[in-house]
Structure 1
Amino acid sequence: MADRKQPAEVGAQFTGPALDERITVHEGAQVIEIDYTGLYIHSSAEANAFYDRIEARILETGEPLWFFCVDTTDYRVDRAAWFAYSRRGTDLHEAHSMGTVRVDRNAGPQIERAKGTERENPNLFASRDEAMAALRARPSQRRTRLAHTPNYERGAFLRRIRPDRATEIMEIDLSGISFEHSRDVNDIFNWIEEVVRGTGRRWYFLYNYEGTRIQQPAWLTYSLRAEALRDRWSLGSVRYAAGSETERDIRLRAENRTVRPNIRNTRAEALERIAEMKAGR
């Protein structure tokens, strides 16, 4: 594929098996423990690798909502990694957290001094046992699963897909679409794949992202479906007119992937990028 790249390098501590040792799922307690103990996050690529793995483990459970117990004893986040670390952490907790507590085994004196003052942090504990007890005392926010209400209609969306065999380009108009949840993502990618399968060939994909939003509960499913579409059907993909927040999130999450995000300001610039891909085939 013309838009392949090498993923950003990460340390050995940020590979799958090493990260899995730091992520523990307690199904009965509805708690995910994340152990940062002694970890040094040097780069945004390492921050992304960690949060990618946490999200994948959440997806494996089939449950979107969890309590989180995070041990940050003696961990460090380099300045170069801080934006990705804080952004991905915020996204994770907005989408999946019923409550989060933090353990710092060096924080005992600090916790004692802060008691009864405005600096007291009810979510900071000096031991794992105290933190887990605090989570067990909180009510679960899980409910019987309800099917997400679909926000888009098949016939209307199919009119947004325009394949051109002469240029090998399939234009997909995602303008104004907000992916609110996994149902929106799966519906839209199912319809795209339906059209692509009918052609029996690979395409250059040209996406209009003007006004497109990918909400946090939809991000993980979106990433997986987009990757599957690229791997099976893409000769290369380019997006244009993405808003600043959407572009930032796409670039952030692409850092550890093997595919360039390929975002351009205008359709004309996006077509130029596809021409470059064709020339490099």
Structure 2
Amino acid sequence: MTADIDARVSFDTERMMIEVDMSGLRFETSGQVNAFYDRIEELIAESGEELWFFLLNFSGFRIEEDAWYAHHKRGKALNLAHSMGTVRYDVSDETRRQLERTAKTEAFDPNLFADHDAALERIDALPSKRTVKKTLSSGYTEAELSRRISFDDGAEVMDVDFSNFTFYNSADVHAFYDHIEVRLEATGMRWFFLVNMENCKIYDEAWVSYAMRGKALNQKWSMGSVRYATGSDTEETIRMRAESQSFRPNVRVTREDALARLDEMKREMA
């Protein structure tokens, strides 16, 4: 699956462009969609550049009803996190109508063209935003982040308090996760993560970075993670992304439920 996706993605560093060949693809399930976008996000992370123009070949591309919502959510998050402009060409009539309806409600220009050359001409006319992106910074202080992390040595639990916190963009994500990594490195050990997400808001612009940094943190430092009080929208996105990755979302309603799940995980490990 990874090799198939990689063969469809190419980087043009001179044009600052990623070309994605989606021609002939048929997304029937949200799991297929999530796997596809997971890999694109990984390739972008490997590139070392956050912002790119996107040129998409939609010739013969089909999205079944069960996959459309995931495609919309993941595509929107990818664009807000990494796109300086997205241009599509050879869109089928059915998908064209669907995109045009979305464009009217989401207030964006779908940039649809009949052929590759016309789409590429449009890409060449778009302005670069890379220097602007690099000036983004987080508005949160170290003191604000520090008070949200605590450790229970006896229970081997790191308590992460995301309650009433807003991740507006990737800068907020990187600031918080940089802080968490420093705190974890100081302990020199792995922990169970207990994450309070009550009234935590993650903007679409921040979701890609949030998912990537969270995954990396868990792989290196976590013996198991449980989240609670996520709210319906955040829980939905977490579960959607978990579909195509090898982790259980472990979402619970209350702190007590989350602690009970952590105890279960400890018994399973024992």
TM-score, normalized by length of structure 1? 0.82
Q: Does 1:189 align with 2:210?
A: no
Q: Residues of 2 paired with 1:17 and 1:144: CA distance?
A: 33
Shift of 1:105: 7.1
Q: Residues of 2 paired with 1:231 and 1:157: CA distance?
A: 22
Structure 2 CA distance for partners of 1:273 and 1:258, relative to 1, 3 Å:
same
- CA-to-aligned-CA distance 1:165-221 (integer Å, 9 cap, x gap): 222222111112222233322222232233323333222111110121222333333
Aligned counterpart in structure 1 of residue 239 of structure 2, from 226, 246, 251: 251
Structure 1 runs not aligned, ≥5 long? 1-14, 111-120
1:1-281 equivalences under 5 Å are 15-104=1-90, 123-143=111-131, 146-281=134-269
Larger radius of gyration: 1
Shift of 1:247: 1.5
Q: Residues of 2 paired with 1:66 and 1:197: CA distance?
A: 33
**What is the match of residue 101 of structure 2?**
none
Shift of 1:270: 0.7
Q: Give the helix-richer structure, 1 or 2.
A: 2
Aligned length, in residue pairs: 256
Q: Report the 3-state secondary structure (helix = DSSP H, G, I; strand = E; otherwise coil) of the residue aligned with 1:132.
A: helix
Shift of 1:144: 5.2
Q: Residues of 2 paired with 1:122 and 1:88: CA distance?
A: 16
Does structure 2 conserve the Cα–Cα contact (< 8 Å) formed by 1:105 and 1:127?
Answer: no
Larger RCO (CA under 8 A, 6+ residues apart): 1
Q: Residues of 1 paired with 2:221 and 2:19: CA distance?
A: 37
Q: Residues of 2 paired with 1:163 and 1:129: CA distance?
A: 57
